[in-house]
Structure 1
Amino acid sequence: MNIPENNSVSNITRFNGFDELYDQNRPQPPLLVADLLVNYLQKRPKLVLDVGCGTGLSTMIWSGKAADIIGIDANYDMLGRARIKLEQQPVSGISFQHGYSNELPADSATVDVVTCSQSFHWMEPVSTLQEVQRVLRAGGIFAAYDCDWPPVLNWQLEREYEHLIDLSERLLEQYGDPEQRAVKRDKSTHLQTLQNSGHFRFVREIVFQHTEPCSAERYTGLLLSQGGIQAALKLGAPAAHLESEIGVLKAMADDFFRGGMINVLFGYRMRLGIK
């Protein structure tokens, strides 16, 4: 795979093969995200780039709020799912392109808003923010936002969810190929990274929340949509214990939801910078 410098093949291929599962279970960011950023911009955006858009969940919230919105992703599976959805239900002004965070398909000083939803921690931050600075207009906004895992619901389920994430990481550390290991940066450093870049006149963190209905199947699906879980399951025999433990979570979820739907709470953290 030929990719630009400062991009990781392992980070890109980590999300191969489970685009449908990801799209069916991951939360769609609340419309509040677009409303907040439009308010900070103080005008209707002409061009929004949603970088690391995945299956387009975060791109679609801009429908009707900007003239043109381009979802950009380096993973062909994720991007393909986004394009399929757009073909099935066209949305005016939205398109998807293959690309990289440090080689954006936009001319200099032409973009009003650049967003990274659940994705900035997979990107090399220095070259990415240099490219963001290039494409943003004066007064333009960069916003990296993520939700906390697991969603807020029940402490026993959350404890088991966290245990499985830790187990998958230990398995990858012990049995995974070090040369193919993805590099995941600490999200808690995003605000400092924006400040240290020198590209923004104002930075801040915004915390908000959103609820979505959830079933037992979806709760388990949320876990399975995690890249670390999928990477560990691909290890084969060493993942047998993980598969067994996932069965425990599924049984716990079935018992808790009892065939019904319950609203779960997703906490979000946005770090933004104004050029």
Structure 2
Amino acid sequence: MADIVENNIDRFSGYAQLYHGYRPEVPESVIDILIAYLGCRPDVVVDLGCGTGLSSFLWGPVAGRVVGVEPNDDMRHQAMEENSRRGLKQMEFVNGLSTAIPLEDGVADVVTCSQSFHWMNPQPTLAEIHRILKPGGFFAAYDCDWPPSCSVMAEQAYDTLIEAAEGSIQKNIPAEQQVHKWPKHEHLQQIVQSGLFTFTKEVVFHVERQLTAQEFIGIGLSQGSVQTVLKHQLPDMVAALPAFEQTVHAAFAEQTRRAWLCYRMRIGMK
């Protein structure tokens, strides 16, 4: 398990700036839904596996204290630099694992995992989340379905790129150096099976935004499998990446396109 944890953390090294620049901002629906369930604005929000802070800064205007927990140094430093630029005193970013969160018992009104819970060993993580939640507090693990819905041609090119990257990893990188992901479709089941939450539910919603071809390409480039292949300079991307970019540009035809990002949020109340 130690190798899995280290491999999963290292997966996100070396491309924090690209990740921060191209990943979509978290929709305000996340805040609206959780505040509706909580019944008030939260005093303390913990964003677990916060990456570059995209999912943490969302809470800045509504929470008294926001703690982003991120074990990858590159990602966490990017979040800290961004917060230094914004000057938000209620925000802090700390080094920590999902199974060893550096916070006291019963401190959090809300704990979130944005695009991150599948990187964590679910049951020990849920036990630790339960420990830091206040009674009546909420945990929410939410993910965006990739790619954004906008164009058959572009989406097929995206799927081809990811398949090429993942195939290259399986072929060229030893198993002991590969990452491990827990299935996203089992998130709610894991929350229920923990027996730690009195109310559980899956909430599905979407947001609409305008995308350029370069933004769509950037989302593809921000995926860990693609970055792993590029980091190891594996030859499979030599042909796959230019083909992806050319197809996306052709699909967008130098126009901005409407796109829909679909989210699935699994929640549990302590």
Same fold (TM over 0.5): yes
Contact 2:7-2:177 within 8 A present in 1 as well: yes
The yes-or-no answer on 1:272 pairing with 2:267 is yes
Q: How does 1:114-129 map to 2 (within 5 A)?
A: 114-129=111-126
Shift of 1:235: 3.2
Structure 1 length as normaliser, TM-score? 0.94
Could you tell me which amino acid in structure 1 is paired with residue 119 of structure 2? W
> In the aligned structure 2, how far is the partner of 1:7 from the partner of 1:94?
29
Contact 1:210-1:267 within 8 A present in 2 as well: yes
Where does residue 113 of structure 1 map in the other structure? 110
> In the aligned structure 2, how far is the partner of 1:248 from the partner of 1:211?
27
Shift of 1:105: 1.9
Structure 2 length as normaliser, TM-score? 0.96
Where does residue 42 of structure 2 map in the other structure? 45
Contact 2:45-2:109 within 8 A present in 1 as well: yes
Secondary structure, aligned partner of 2:235: helix
Q: 1:240 aligns with which of 220, 227, 235?
A: 235
Contact 2:46-2:108 within 8 A present in 1 as well: yes
Q: How does 1:68-217 map to 2 (within 5 A)?
A: 68-217=65-214
> In the aligned structure 2, how far is the partner of 1:46 from the partner of 1:128?
22
> In the aligned structure 2, how far is the partner of 1:80 from the partner of 1:185?
26
Shift of 1:136: 0.6
Secondary structure, aligned partner of 1:103: coil
> In the aligned structure 2, how far is the partner of 1:218 from the partner of 1:106?
36
CA RMSD of aligned residues (A): 1.5
Superimposed CA distance per residue, residues 138-183 of structure 1 (whole angstroms, 9 cap, x where no aligned partner): 1110000000011101111111111111111111111112111000
Contact 1:11-1:122 within 8 A present in 2 as well: yes
Could you tell me which amino acid in structure 2 is paired with residue 119 of structure 1? S
> In the aligned structure 1, how far is the partner of 2:206 from the partner of 2:95?
30
Could you tell me which amino acid in structure 1 is paired with residue 38 of structure 2? L
Contact 2:53-2:79 within 8 A present in 1 as well: yes
Superimposed CA distance per residue, residues 20-62 of structure 1 (whole angstroms, 9 cap, x where no aligned partner): 1101100111011011111111122111000000011000111
> In the aligned structure 1, how far is the partner of 2:193 from the partner of 2:184?
15
Secondary structure, aligned partner of 2:147: coil
The yes-or-no answer on 1:26 pairing with 2:7 is no
Contact 1:63-1:92 within 8 A present in 2 as well: no
- The number of aligned residues is 270
Secondary structure, aligned partner of 2:55: coil
> In the aligned structure 2, how far is the partner of 1:111 from the partner of 1:6?
30
Contact 1:146-1:270 within 8 A present in 2 as well: yes
The yes-or-no answer on 1:12 pairing with 2:9 is yes
Superimposed CA distance per residue, residues 114-134 of structure 1 (whole angstroms, 9 cap, x where no aligned partner): 000000000011111110111
Segments of 5+ residues of structure 1 without an aligned counterpart are none
Could you tell me which amino acid in structure 2 is paired with residue 15 of structure 1? F
Contact 1:6-1:127 within 8 A present in 2 as well: no
Shift of 1:264: 1.5
Segments of 5+ residues of structure 2 without an aligned counterpart are none
Where does residue 253 of structure 2 map in the other structure? 258
Could you tell me which amino acid in structure 2 is paired with residue 71 of structure 1? G
Could you tell me which amino acid in structure 2 is paired with residue 244 of structure 1? A
> In the aligned structure 2, how far is the partner of 1:6 from the partner of 1:175?
18
Superimposed CA distance per residue, residues 88-122 of structure 1 (whole angstroms, 9 cap, x where no aligned partner): 11124111111111111221111110000000000
Where does residue 244 of structure 2 map in the other structure? 249
Q: Which moved more, 1:4-13 or 1:118-127?
A: 4-13
> In the aligned structure 1, how far is the partner of 2:3 from the partner of 2:193?
19
Secondary structure, aligned partner of 1:59: helix
Secondary structure, aligned partner of 2:171: helix
From the superposition, tell whether residues 7 and 178 of structure 1 become closer, same or farther in structure 2 (CA, over 3 Å): closer
Shift of 1:201: 0.6
> In the aligned structure 1, how far is the partner of 2:187 from the partner of 2:77?
28
